Structure 1
Amino acid sequence: TFDHLRPYLISGIPEIRLSSIEPMVIPKMEMQNGHGAVRVRAVFGNMTIYGASNYSVISVRSDINRLRMDLGLSIPRIEATGTYEVVGQVLLFPVRSRGEFWALFNNITGLGKLYGKEVKKNNVKFMKTERLGVDFKLGSSRFKIKDYLNGNNVLGEAMNQFLNQNADIIIDEMKPAAAQVLEVPADS
């Protein structure tokens, strides 16, 4: 079962190049959204994410003939820290900011869709993961940035207030870009 995998996921599995999920470390992640009310290019670095190992499996569906598996998860809380640089436009305002960030996401539900293909090794059939698609919903979120580019002044505090008051809109606008970052071709 997936609960049996938890200790291995926490420590990572080097034999299949699977990194630890607690904490999960992401050296660099880039997102770009060129449409809608939020048009930004964001680069996040040195990200450390806590809470992914507290997942609960809420659904599993598989189709062996089509080599597909859907896995529904819920995670009560994820906390992330790291560095960021954002350039773009949010609603009518130009944005340029660089510094450190902290984010808290509560009541996350996600659906992972694994697509495979059949391979043979020593005359034995295996499924090789070809692609992993991800979709997610957040119950609530909270952000705090420490802006170094603009002198860490009143503008930074105004940005924090704006981020938190408009978190749902911003996340909805950035969700396609975030999902695309998570939907990388798998190679295991």
Structure 2
Amino acid sequence: MESRLIAATLLVCFFGVTYAGNMPDYIQICHRNDPELSKCLKQSVHNLRPYLVKGIKEINVPSLEPLYIGDLSILEGSSSGITVKAKKLTVYGASNFEITKMRASTQNKRFDFEMILPLLQGEGQYDINGNILALPIKGSGPFVGNFTNFVAYARITYDVKNVNDVDYFEFKEFALKIRTGKGRLRLDNLFNGDKVLGDVINHTINENFELFTNEVIAPIARALEVKFLAIATKIVENFTYNELFPL
């Protein structure tokens, strides 16, 4: 009996090492029955982070620096009566995220985590028309914004699909909610370049930064959901479920 237990233990260790040996450096293996699975997954994501800066060409994962979002309708006649559109929106600093909390459940097939984005910079073209705090605002042109300590809450649900008797990890949902932090925004060419009026509006926006960003953050979060889900899917679709989460 003892020799059988030793043989079984060696066999498990052998397969564990085989899985790990075949996996690329950017994948840190987490065993699905690990009592500290949440801690392992947190470390695994942080281990992956440096590789996302330039992207992972071998599995067609795009770079996070910069993160190109493109054209985005941020507000369309909201309750405040303001319309905001962004074009060629590009975000810098997304790869510097830090996961502060992680809760993983393979039984429920769900991951919940909280992460902080210490510093983000966004730039692109804007088009805005409406009222901010009873002040009329109109213009189009370039913009730049700096944002600090934004907090994101994410919920991921997944399934295990079987293809030709092989199990694969499949994402079902990637939901993201962002709590705004501090920052500054600069809209150039407001009111056809009227500096006085432009400075007044920019000052008003930055004095009420949290109020303004709370209005526009939801569609940005939806756009980020799509980007992050695409990146995550590209990573997991190249490996089997047992390779990513062995017993």
When normalised by structure 2's length, the TM-score is 0.67
Of 141-150 and 88-97, more deviation after overlay is shown by 88-97
* Count of paired positions: 187
More strand per residue: 1 or 2? Answer: 1
Residue 127 of structure 1 and its aligned partner are, at CA, apart by 2.4
- Give the Cα–Cα distance (whole angstroms) in 1 for the partners of residues 95 and 222 of structure 2: 22
Which residue identity does 1:127 align to in structure 2?
Answer: F
- Give the Cα–Cα distance (whole angstroms) in 1 for the partners of residues 218 and 72 of structure 2: 14
Q: Does the 8 Å CA contact 1:67/1:127 hold for their aligned counterparts?
A: no
What is the 5 A alignment of 1:15-164? 17-32=60-75, 34-36=77-79, 38-147=80-189, 150-164=192-206
What is the 5 A alignment of 1:2-13? 2-13=45-56
Q: Deviations over 1:28-58 (max 9, x none)?
A: 222225443x333322122222212222121
Residue 118 of structure 1 and its aligned partner are, at CA, apart by 2.7
Q: Which entry has the higher C-alpha Rg, 1 or 2?
A: 2
RMSD: 2.3
Kindly tell me: are residues 120 and 142 of structure 1, through their superposed partners in 2, closer, same or farther at Cα, counting changes over 3 Å?
same
- Give the Cα–Cα distance (whole angstroms) in 1 for the partners of residues 217 and 154 of structure 2: 15
Structure 2 residues not aligned, in runs of 5+: 1-43, 234-247
Kindly tell me: are residues 41 and 183 of structure 1, through their superposed partners in 2, closer, same or farther at Cα, counting changes over 3 Å?
farther
Q: Does the 8 Å CA contact 2:83/2:128 hold for their aligned counterparts?
A: yes
Q: Does the 8 Å CA contact 1:99/1:149 hold for their aligned counterparts?
A: no
Residue 16 of structure 1 and its aligned partner are, at CA, apart by 5.1
Which residue identity does 1:82 align to in structure 2?
Answer: G
Residue 69 of structure 1 and its aligned partner are, at CA, apart by 1.1
Which residue identity does 1:173 align to in structure 2?
Answer: E
Question: Among the aligned pairs, what percent are the same residue?
Answer: 27
Which residue identity does 1:54 align to in structure 2?
Answer: N
Of 116-125 and 7-16, more deviation after overlay is shown by 7-16
- Give the Cα–Cα distance (whole angstroms) in 1 for the partners of residues 194 and 158 of structure 2: 48
Aligned residue for 2:28? Answer: none
